[in-house]
Amino acid sequence: MKSILIIEDEKAIAELERDYLESYGFNVHIEGRGDTGLQKALDGEYDLIILDVMLPKVDGFEICRQIRQASNIPVLMVTSKKEDIDKIRGLGLGADDYMTKPFSPSELVARVKAHLARYDRLTADKTKRGEHIRIRGLFIDKPSRRVMIHENEAMLTSKEYELLLLLASHPNRVFEKEELFERIWGLDSNGDAATVTVHIRRLREKIEHDPSNPQYIETIWGVGYRFKV
Amino acid sequence: MKSILIIEDEKAIAELERDYLESYGFNVHIEGRGDTGLQKALDGEYDLIILDVMLPKVDGFEICRQIRQASNIPVLMVTSKKEDIDKIRGLGLGADDYMTKPFSPSELVARVKAHLARYDRLTADKTKRGEHIRIRGLFIDKPSRRVMIHENEAMLTSKEYELLLLLASHPNRVFEKEELFERIWGLDSNGDAATVTVHIRRLREKIEHDPSNPQYIETIWGVGYRFKV
DNA sequence: ACCGTTTCTTACAAAATTATTACGTTTGGA
DNA sequence: TCCAAACGTAATAATTTTGTAAGAAACGGT
């Protein structure tokens, strides 16, 4: 779940925003002052910050500048004065968006979603080409050895991961059980290929919606398995 | 110099945009049709695309979708129909911004600049720059080699600091124990990787709230460790 | 539809890996 | 030089993963 920090001294506005955002499944925290807000913002625990311009102690411009020193997370500035907009732009603070009060809550949610999506898109991009595999609802990130199945992380053991990676790296190719065993367990290993069956089963348990009717790893009778695409 | 592609069938509008953008030092190219525009867009020679929704041959929605398959460059959609805005959002095309005609040229330039700046900001290599790292409640200051954990300084020893820095410099990446040992102790070192285990333990003792349920440094069974983010 | 073969599925025990603690040695600063 | 902190090693405990076996189910050819 994404977390949003609202730095806003008008309690009524802040709570309205919070209620709306929470109803869309966001995790929301409110800070009423500039100084404490800045501290929270720099904690790095939030995915997006909604920042009022006029604040006690430290104003929104300064907070935005300081956030940008430390991170690139989306900052959405809010103001009631139209002339602030030019100032935000002119100062080159690096705010991602700005809205003038009053604004509709649905407009706020739409923008928040858009910014979060873009941020994910652009920062996920640093995973260079070939460092991850995406096939249907399955996502394999090699550097982190993580596997996501429809947004949820599948906690695979070492052997399960290697098995999946090998299969998914060669979509549709059929691997004999013996080959799988040799490539993952090693040529010298003394076990037998029945082990593969059990591991395939355990893997399916974790990545398939219905392990008995697998969508990803298909059994090729009398031969072995393949990753279906 | 940044290059901008305008895909727009109304010549007058396109040329107005072009003149204005050029006066701000941008390199501008105009395409009047959807199909040729898409081709140009996929060429990868532009830094930003201004995209009209209603176009001959292929419409703006489709172009946007296809651009997003291939890259993350900023796409600014333009339309004269207000209801298109909701459509752009609803479809989740990944457009970065949208403007309704008529709009002021200075507004256009301001947005273009903002999107280009953000894109540069987010795609710049993260690990290179920065004297410090901030992830969740953890703060690592490289010049002073100090580590703060939720406002409190953690007194790390040399090896502990190097371990943490290496891990935190590559968030989520899994390091094998052997690699950690080699990179911190040196290739020539005669010890073994079990040492890493003990140091990880000591490090956790200092930075984790509950060292037995680590929030930062995760164990990857059978492989090594990684800094979780 | 039957039968031999292959795979699925489950449960349990063995094996491997990491966590944790303790202790002796080394290092660097006072 | 002395002392305290840092470090490496080893032994043990705790935990997770893995291999094996055995009965059930599914398949394919006849």
Å between A118 CA and D17 C1'? 39
Q: What percentage of chain B reaches a pLDDT higher than 70?
A: 97
Asked if B129 has any chain A CB less than 8 Å from its own CB, the reply is no
Strand C nucleotides where any atom sits below 7 Å of a protein CB: 6-11, 16-22
**Which pLDDT value is given to residue B131?**
81
B199 touches strand D (CB under 7 A): yes
Rounded to 5 degrees, φ, ψ at A158 are: -55, -50
Question: Are the Cβ atoms of B122 and A117 closer than 8 angstroms?
Answer: no
Chain A residues touching residue B114 (CB < 8 angstroms): 89, 96
Query: Tokens for B216?
Result: 């930062």
Q: If pLDDT is split at 50, 70 and 90, which confidence band does B66 have?
A: confident
pLDDT given at position B191: 79
Residue A211 approaches strand C within 7 Å at CB: yes
Q: Is pTM beyond 0.85 here? A: no
Contact A144 B172 (CB under 8 A): yes
Residue indicated by tokens 């990753």? A227
**What is the DSSP secondary-structure string of chain B?**
--EEEEE-S-HHHHHHHHHHHHHTT-EEEEE-SHHHHHHHHHTT--SEEEEESS-SSS-HHHHHHHHHHH----EEEEES-HHHHHHHHHHT---SEEEESS--HHHHHHHHHHHHHHHHHHHS-TTTS-SEEEETTEEEETTTTEEEETTEEE---HHHHHHHHHHHHSTT-EEEHHHHHHHHH-TT--S-THHHHHHHHHHHHHH-SSTTS-SSEEEETTTEEEE--
Asked if A82 reaches chain B (Cβ–Cβ under 8 Å), the answer is no
The per-residue pLDDT for range B165-200, each reduced to its tens digit, is: 999 999 999 999 999 999 999 887 777 889 999 999
Average pLDDT over chain B, rounded to an integer: 90
Quote the pLDDT of residue A121.
84
How many other CB atoms sit within 10 Å of the CB of residue A8?
A: 26
User: What pLDDT is stored for residue B101 in this prediction?
Assistant: 83
Q: Does residue B187 sit at the A interface (CB-CB below 8 Å)?
A: no
- Residue A220: which nucleotide is closest by CA–C1'? C7
Average pLDDT for A57-63? 89
> Is A58 in contact with A38 (CB distance < 8 Å)?
yes
Round to a whole number and report the distance in Å from the CA of B70 to the C1' of C19.
Answer: 46
3-state secondary structure of A43: coil
pLDDT of residue A58: 87
Find the residue in B nearest to A107 (Cα): B86
Protein CA at A225 to nucleotide C1' at D23, angstroms? 23
A184 touches strand D (CB under 7 A): no
A161 pLDDT above the threshold of 80:
yes
Residue type, A77: M
DSSP letter for A6, please.
E
A contacts of B118 (beta carbons < 8 Å)? 94, 96
pLDDT computed for residue B168 by the predictor: 95
What is the mean predicted confidence (pLDDT) over B104-126?
85
Nearest Cβ partner for A144 among B89, B94, B226: B226
Query: How far, in Å, is the CA of A3 from the C1' of nucleotide C13?
Result: 45
pLDDT of B128 strictly over 80 = no
pLDDT of residue A128: 58
pLDDT at residue A9 is higher than 70: yes
Query: Mind listing the pLDDT tens digit for each residue in A89-144?
Result: 767 778 888 898 888 888 899 899 989 988 888 876 555 556 888 888 899 999 99
Residue A173 CA to residue A227 CA, distance in Å, equals 7
